[in-house]
Amino acid sequence: MSKNQNKTGSYSFFNCIEKNFDKAARFISIEKGLLEQIKACNSVYRMHFPVKIGKEIKVIEAYRVQHSHHKLPCKGGIRYSMKVNQDEIMTLAALMTYKCAIVDVPFGGAKGGIKIDPQTISSENIEKITRRYTSELIKKNFIGPGIDVPAPDYGTGEREMSWIFDTFLSLRSGDVDALACVTGKPVSQGGVRGRKEATGLGVFYGIRELCHVKEEMYSVGLDVGLVGKKIIIQGLGNVGYHAASFFHESGAIIIALAEREGAIYNEKGLNVSKVFLHLRNNGSILNFPEAKNIENTEKALELECDILIPAALENVIHKNNANRIKAKIIGEAANGPITPEADEILDKKGMIIVPDIYLNAGGVTVSYFEWLKNLSHVRYGRMEKKFRENVNAEFLKIIETVCKKKISIEEKKMILRGPREIDLVRSGLEDTMINGFHKIRDLKKSLKIENMRTAAFVLSINKIIDSYEKLGIFP
Ligand code: GLU
């Protein structure tokens, strides 16, 4: 057992990322010490605070880790889960650094976590814990529009982000930029339209782009295009739910959906919106009328399919099940769903793995748009929507006169339309995901890198080196 392995013989999560980093470092010629600086976590804040729950005082364990300060503010979600620990939060913070660099989001990576199970705690108590956590962050200067900006992650959402903002504002009243202290807020509280579905939509854009590249598809024996591809999605939280909906709408066939309690399967395809209705009404996806139940949810990962999307937690594909995975493409919607040992096994099988540090970067991309909106204090599209519509109307008039033809009301509606906030956010996200994909692929080809993950790391590390150099830190 090596010094990096824990008692069960597997690597710590942080060591997994270090391994991926080291593979990429072979393609970068820069002094070793400088690479070590990029790899290291800059600040780890581990806290314990008391919260009165019922008649008892409970001591809550929580973290905020800032992995890199090469760009400020730091950025990353906050997760609520009983699995939260320092190693996990450090790793997720590091992934945020690499993720932001790939999609040109000018932030350093961070992550936070509170060790609680939100499903067993009342919302009043979750609120108490969230507000107390926020004031701990404020005390130590670990939150602020130019310092560190949290966002939703596993077990948190718009509601928690509202509480964080409100607590920040009450302790920093008069700060005109206070709204930018956290992203993923509800639209009525300074959020941006399109943030909620952004990670899932980014996953969809990334996979769609891959499916349009003939060479890539032929390399795994598939046809070009997303229509008709058989997809399995594991995890129906915010990311998995939205990804499933977008894939379904685009004509892909969702053959299985897996949740904690089990999975459901229908070779001909599941109607995703009907499954969600069933889940809402019954509290479980099991016993969906048009599907077979799979009791052992892990078995769903091993079914025959074209694309497998793990969208829940880390390390779900490991050395013990990797050999049984039959997908041709794996899209990492979750952070770190494949261990390095499994990665090697899957690589040898010739699968395409679209890595997390690129594929799930849609969330932070739209968080960046939200942060910019908050700092500019104006909704996207507010200044140009009407102007665009007026210009388009003038154009239409000219076209109708020149062509001596009347354009139908339906066509007119489409052509006249000025951009709304949601249109601008989605086009910014689409453009980011398409560009990111091709930058990784071009680098992979030009340096003859073995897989997309290593190429994504090389791209990201090079960008971080570039910003350090511009800061004058690496002479
Ligand atoms: N928690 C998300 C992630 O892991 C989003 C982070 C953010 O928006 O800052 O990428």
Dump pLDDT digits (tens) for 139-190: 999 999 999 999 999 999 999 999 999 999 999 999 999 999 999 999 999 9
Distance 198 CA to ligand 1 centre (A): 10
CA of 361 to the centre of ligand 1 (A): 7
Report yes or no on 20 lying in a domain. Answer: no
Answer yes or no: is 447 within a domain: no
**Ligand 1: nearest atom to the Cα of 367:** 8
95 CA distance to ligand 1 centroid (A)? 10
Q: Which of 126, 160, 189 is the last residue of a domain?
A: 189
Q: Which of 23, 71, 111, 328 is catalytic?
A: 111
Among 163-172, 219-228, 460-469, name the one with the lowest average pLDDT: 460-469
Asked if residue 433 lies in contact with residue 206, where contact means CB atoms within 8 angstroms, the answer is yes
How far apart are alpha carbons 26 and 21 in whole angstroms?
A: 9
Diameter of the chain measured on Cα atoms: 80
Based on the domain organization, do 123 and 226 belong to the same domain? no
* Residues 49, 172 within the same domain: yes
- Peptide linkage before 419 cis (omega within 30 of 0): no
pLDDT at 41 over 70: yes
CA–CA separation, 450 and 347 (whole Å): 9
H or E element in which residue 113 lies: strand 108-114
Q: Name the residue with higher pLDDT: 461 or 474.
A: 461
Instruction: State the pLDDT at residue 445.
Output: 97
Q: How far is the CA of 219 from the centre of ligand 1 (A)?
A: 32
**CATH code, domain carrying 161:** 3.40.50.10860
Strand pairing partners for 43?
A: 66
**Spatial contact of 97 and 67, defined as CB atoms under 8 Å apart:** yes
349 in catalytic set: no
In a domain, residue 453? The reply is no
Residue 33, domain member (yes or no):
no
Say yes or no: 274 and 128 in one domain. no
Which has the closest alpha carbon to 318: 7, 16, 3? Answer: 16
State which ligand 1 atom lies nearest to the alpha carbon of 107: 9
pLDDT at 216: 97
Residue that the structure tokens 């993950």 belong to: 453
Share of the chain above pLDDT 90, in %: 92
Provide the terminal-to-terminal Cα distance of the chain, rounded to the nearest Å.
39
Helices (H), 186-288: 198-211, 214-219, 238-249, 272-282
The two tokens of residue 224 are: 């070009």
Residue-wise burial string across 136-168, b where 16 or more C-beta atoms lie within 10 A, e elsewhere: bbbeeebbbbebbbbbbbbbbbbebbbbbbbbb
Is residue 421 situated within a structural domain? no
Q: Which of 238, 367, 374, 425 to mutate to test the pocket of ligand 1 (most atoms within 8 A of CB)?
A: 367
Q: Are residues 125 and 241 in the same domain?
A: no
* Index of the ligand 1 atom closest to the CA of residue 150: 9
- Answer whether residue 363 shows pLDDT above 80: yes
In the predicted model, is pLDDT for residue 391 greater than 90? yes
- Model pLDDT for residues 76-111, shown as the tens digit of each residue: 999 999 999 999 999 999 999 999 999 999 999 999
Q: Which of 144, 163, 189 is the last residue of a domain?
A: 189
- Which amino acid would we find at residue 395? F
- Per the DSSP assignment, residues forming a β-bridge with 330 are 308, 353
DSSP codes joined into one string, 342-375: HHHHHHHTT-EEE-HHHHTTHHHHHHHHHHHHHH
Type of residue at 330: I
Whether 105 and 168 map to the same domain: the answer is yes
- Do residues 313 and 82 touch, judged by C-beta distance below 8 A? no
Q: What is the pLDDT of residue 168?
A: 98
Spatial separation of the C-alpha atoms in residues 376 and 202, rounded to whole Å: 24
CB contact at 8 A, 89 and 381: no
Query: What mean pLDDT, rounded, does the chain reach?
Result: 95
Which numbered atom of ligand 1 lies nearest the CA of 366?
8
- Atom nearest to 184 CA in ligand 1: 8
User: What pLDDT sits at residue 8?
Assistant: 35
Same domain, 206 and 355: yes
Range of the domain at 313: 198-359
User: What is the C-alpha to C-alpha distance for residues 338 and 354, in angstroms, rounded to an integer?
Assistant: 11
For residue 306, the model assigns a pLDDT of: 98
Residue 465 in this model has a pLDDT that exceeds 90: yes
147 and 263 both lie in a single domain:
no
- Residue 21 falls inside a structural domain: no
- For a substitution probing ligand 1, which of 153, 366, 433 has the most ligand atoms within 8 Å of its CB? 153
Q: Please say which residue of 145, 170, 189 terminates a domain.
A: 189
Tokens read off for 127 = 């609120």
Are residues 216 and 257 part of one domain? yes
Ligand 1 centroid – CA 356 distance (Å):
11
Give residues (CB < 6 A) around ligand 1: 75-77, 151, 153, 183, 335, 360, 363-364, 367
pLDDT at 62: 98
Same domain, residue pair 205 and 243: yes
Cα-to-centroid distance, 368 and ligand 1 (Å): 10
Strand pairing category for 108-114 and 262-265:
unpaired
Number of domains in the chain: 2
CA distance 171 to 139: 10
Mutate to test the pocket of ligand 1, among 13, 96, 182, 358 (most ligand atoms within 8 A of CB): 96
291 and 167 in a common domain: no
pLDDT at 468 (0 to 100): 86
Q: Band of the pLDDT at 3, cuts 50, 70, 90?
A: very low
User: Which ligand 1 atom is at minimum distance from the Cα of 149?
Assistant: 9
131 with 261, same domain: the answer is no
Q: What's the pLDDT tens digit per position in 248-294?
A: 999 999 999 999 999 999 999 999 999 999 999 999 999 999 899 99
**What is the reported pLDDT for 313?**
87
Q: What does the pLDDT look like over 7-33, one tens digit per residue?
A: 334 558 899 899 999 999 999 999 899
Residues 81 and 131: their CA atoms lie apart, in Å, by 17
Q: Does any domain span residue 279? A: yes
- In this structure, the answer to whether residues 204 and 276 fall within a common structural domain is yes
* pLDDT of 211 above 90: yes
- In whole angstroms, give the CA distance from residue 115 to residue 98: 25
Answer whether residue 386 is part of any domain: no
In angstroms, the Cα distances linking 249 to 76, 226, 253, 277, 462 are: 29, 11, 9, 16, 37
Contact in structure between 261 and 297 (CB atoms under 8 Å): yes
110-147: per-residue pLDDT in tens? 999 999 999 999 999 999 999 999 999 999 999 999 99
User: How confident is residue 473, by pLDDT bands cut at 50, 70 and 90?
Assistant: low
pLDDT at 191 over 80: yes
Q: What is the CATH number of the domain that holds 313?
A: 3.40.50.720
Give residue 72 CA to ligand 1 midpoint distance, Å: 15
